[in-house]
Structure 1
Amino acid sequence: MKELPILFKGEMSDGILDYRKWQTRRIFKEQPPESCGVIEGPQMFAPLVIKRGEEQPGPDVFGAFSEDGVWSIKCPYGQPGDRLYVKETYWAWGRWETRYDAKKGRDAWHFVDMTRECGKAYQFEQPSPIGTRARVSPAWHKRPSLFMPRHASRITLEVTAVRVERLQEISTDDARAEGIQTWIDSFKDGPHYHENGQLDAYPVSAFSRLWKSINGADSWDANPWVWVVEFRVIKPSEVAA
């Protein structure tokens, strides 16, 4: 069993904790070339590699690959049974100081995380008092998800299924599994769906708006290949197991 990090925005984390989100779609880091055959996956598969003019089996890959075996990509989110720990924007207790940064060749700001040292818990809503870099005494500081340490993560997931598909192949049920919520309006013309407060008559259309708000205006029309990762929330008692 592997344990891997995965980034989520705060509202997506809330959907996971509310048990209304149990799927996530992530764009392939490398899209297959148009010349590839049918894309399959994600079962184990040994792609062909060329060595000294001869074709030989490559290493097994749990991910996506072309039917002709000339292209493959490993799934960065593990496989069923693996665990994902969620990295999200958070608040840590600490202070800033300047240190020499060899890469930059100059002094740079560095955050000193004192949360556990001071007996505090990481926060996921804005606490007080809020600190600034100029303050010497510790305070709460907003930290990007990228810098979240493993011990600060509040959500651990178990991967239950992985598949590959084009983004626009998402179904109505899958859009709901992505956390799209139902909104019953006052016009008595049936349910509507919303994300970020925008109403829509269809879950897939609501999801497409959400997708574009995260990945860019043209990202839906590009219809990229995506990983579809299904998961369940692991209870705290299971995390230590």
Structure 2
Amino acid sequence: MADRPILFSGPMVRALLASTKTQTRRDLTKTFARFPQLDGYETNGTLKQIEGRSVPCVEFVHSKLGLWDPETNPGGRSGWYVPLKAAVGDRLYVREHWRTHAMFDDIAPRDLQARSIHYCADGEINSGKHRQAMHMPRWASRLTLSVTDVRVERLQDISEQDCVAEGIEWVTRTSSGNFYRNFDAPEIPIMAYGAYRSLWNHINGSDAWDKNPWVVAYTFSVQRGNIDQIARAA
């Protein structure tokens, strides 16, 4: 078991706090940003433990021969193993956008110690500079996620049930079923699959859903509390 950080936006933090979010999907193709062309790379989604790595990996293989330059890659490698962020049993401490009092603005996060902080997901305040989630110290995290399942799939293969588990915002219920927030047209709530599609595009860009990337889907249980405080209380 390992402890690792994970970033969430304000709306997703609120969904975690409301116990409506028990899954998150992360785009695996961002791992390949150094490669200009990803067409043709496929995976069966099987996770594999690689020696020397503390998390499972998933293999992506290119279906076309001759992709690699024999001079720069004489082995003719046509695929690679991509390490995932976490494994079943790992704990993730949530990092989110935050502020401290203005008097601490010149203090780096690593030097703040246990200063009083404000979580932006709880509502904005006009005090202190905005601090990015990636700079939140471990001691400041207030949510701990225990990973219970990890799988790799295409984004658009998500089920209606999993869309709800992603923490989409419920709006209303009719005889046709539950309807959720639609980021494309807020005045027109839609059902879970469409709502999650609109949320994904809202976060990742207007054409992100259509790209249908490979994603890793983490399922987890949520505990309110700092990861180290929870461990001491156990």
Match of 1:73 in 2: 82
> Does structure 1 residue 42 correspond to structure 2 residue 50?
no
Match of 1:232 in 2: 221
| Greater Rg over alpha carbons, structure | 1
User: Higher helix share goes to which structure?
Assistant: 2
User: Tell me, which stretches of 5 or more residues in structure 1 are unaligned?
Assistant: 47-57, 98-109, 132-139
Match of 1:52 in 2: none
Call closer, same or farther: CA 1:91–1:194 in 2, change over 3 Å.
same
User: Tell me, which stretches of 5 or more residues in structure 2 are unaligned?
Assistant: 63-77
d(CA) in 2 for partners of 1:204, 1:81: 28
Q: CA deviation at 1:30?
A: 2.9
User: Higher strand share goes to which structure?
Assistant: 1
> Does structure 1 residue 120 correspond to structure 2 residue 131?
no
Q: CA deviation at 1:41?
A: 2.3
Secondary structure class of the residue paired with 2:13:
helix
Match of 2:67 in 1: none
Cα deviation, 1:27-57, whole Å, max 9, x if unaligned, reads: 01335944445432224257xxxxxxxxxxx
d(CA) in 1 for partners of 2:79, 2:54: 13
Aligned counterparts, 1:17-166, within 5 A: 17-28=17-28, 29-31=30-32, 33-36=38-41, 38-44=43-49, 62-66=56-60, 70-76=79-85, 78-95=86-103, 110-112=106-108, 120-124=116-120, 125-126=122-123, 130-131=126-127, 140-166=128-154
Q: TM-score normalised to the size of structure 1?
A: 0.72
Identity %: 33
Maintained 8 Å contact 2:92/2:147: yes
d(CA) in 1 for partners of 2:134, 2:53: 30
Maintained 8 Å contact 2:96/2:119: no
> Does structure 1 residue 216 correspond to structure 2 residue 205?
yes
Maintained 8 Å contact 1:37/1:66: yes
Cα deviation, 1:159-206, whole Å, max 9, x if unaligned, reads: 111100000001000000001233326x76543222565544320111
d(CA) in 1 for partners of 2:159, 2:2: 29
d(CA) in 1 for partners of 2:10, 2:150: 23
